[in-house]
Each structure stands twice: as structure tokens, then as C-alpha cells.
């Protein structure tokens, strides 16, 4: 529960008193993906999958914590494929981070990057299927640009920061 509250839910809420339109640096991504990767890389695949599953469950059935809201209607949005990709991404990144040769800054950065790539593979697969079924008015190229090509560079750029935080947290928690 601590992992869920500390790592995942904060990415879905706005902090009181902070104007969301005031940004120091505008990055075209949400905090959901970095929080997921940090959780999985720090605590491993099992805890990462549990927190990702809990996050999806809470977002679908209880609170509007996803970037565009929440609820069961979110199942039919183009971005839901990326959210379902949280589960394999958490497992994959967490599993990579537990390998002996991956237990340093470079290894954890690569584990985070691998997670980002897998997340986008899951999301693109959903976009292709949805476009073939004509679920959305936008064409496939427009959906790919909006949901993958725009946020991907920012998500890859955040991977070293995720790795730095993961190394610090793993050292504090004595995780090897």
C-alpha cells in the first residue's frame, strides 16, 4: 500500500495551491510513467506489478487519477493501451533491475529505458487494433504522433533521473 500511495497515486493528483499552468520546463509527458518505473526498479517486479494493477483498478473503478480522468469509459480511449502496458512494463523493468550486472546507475537507466520501450509497444499495439476497428475518429498516424512520438523523447530523457532516485532509494532501503 505504501508503494501505491507513495509512487503511483501522486502522479494523478494536482497539488493544492499550485497553478498547473505555471511550469518551469514544459515536458510532454505525465508523472505516471516515471512513478511506475521508479516503483518497479526500486522494489522489483512483484511489487511493481501489484502497484500497477492497483493503480489501474483504482483509476477504473474509484478515482479519476489517469491523465484524462478515469472510470470504465477510459477503456475505450486511445491511451488505455499505454495504461495496460503498465503491468508488463513493471514486471520487465523490475526483473531487469534485479539482475546482478544491472545494479548500478547505467544498468538501472537501461532497465527504465527498456520499460519505456515496452510501454510504447503495448500502446502502439492498442492504437493499431483500435484504428483497424475504427474506434476513434483520428487516423493512426495522428494517434501515433500524439500518444507515442511526442512523449517518448521526454520519457527516455527522464530515465537517468529515475535511475539516480532508484540507486539512492535502493541504498537507503539496503536493496541489492
Which cell numbers in the block locate residue 42? 526500486
Q: Full-prediction pTM beyond 0.85? A: no
How many other C-beta atoms are found inside a 10 Å radius of the C-beta of residue 2? 9
The tens place of each residue's pLDDT in the chain, 176 residues long, gives 544 444 454 455 545 455 554 444 555 567 788 989 999 999 899 999 998 998 899 888 877 777 777 888 888 899 899 999 999 999 999 999 998 888 899 999 999 999 999 999 999 999 999 999 999 999 999 999 999 999 999 999 999 999 999 999 888 887 66
Is residue 82 within 8 A of residue 119, CB to CB? The reply is yes
Instruction: Spell out the domains of the chain, with CATH numbers in brackets.
Output: 2-10+29-172 (1.10.1760.20)
Which cell numbers in the block locate residue 166? 532508484
How many other C-beta atoms are found inside a 10 Å radius of the C-beta of residue 42? 24
Bridge-partner residues for 69, per DSSP? Answer: 66
CA Rg value for the chain: 16
Amino acid at each position: 500500500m505504501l508503494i501505491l500511495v507513495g509512487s503511483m497515486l501522486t502522479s494523478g493528483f494536482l497539488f493544492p495551491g499550485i497553478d498547473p499552468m505555471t511550469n518551469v520546463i514544459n515536458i510532454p509527458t505525465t508523472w505516471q510513467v516515471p512513478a511506475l518505473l521508479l516503483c518497479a526498479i526500486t522494489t522489483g517486479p512483484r511489487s511493481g506489478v501489484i502497484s500497477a494493477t492497483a493503480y489501474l483498478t483504482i483509476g477504473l473503478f474509484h478515482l479519476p487519477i489517469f491523465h484524462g480522468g478515469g472510470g470504465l469509459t477510459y477503456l475505450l480511449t486511445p491511451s488505455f493501451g499505454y495504461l495496460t502496458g503498465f503491468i508488463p512494463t513493471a514486471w520487465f523493468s523490475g526483473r531487469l533491475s534485479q539482475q546482478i550486472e544491472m545494479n548500478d546507475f547505467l544498468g538501472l537507466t537501461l532497465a527504465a529505458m527498456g520499460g519505456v520501450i515496452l510501454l510504447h509497444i503495448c500502446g502502439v499495439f492498442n492504437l493499431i487494433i483500435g484504428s483497424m476497428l475504427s474506434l476513434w475518429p483520428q487516423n493512426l498516424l495522428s494517434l501515433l504522433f500524439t500518444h507515442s512520438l511526442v512523449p517518448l523523447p521526454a520519457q527516455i530523457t527522464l530515465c537517468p533521473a529515475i535511475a539516480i532516485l532508484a540507486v539512492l532509494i535502493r541504498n537507503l532501503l539496503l536493496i541489492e
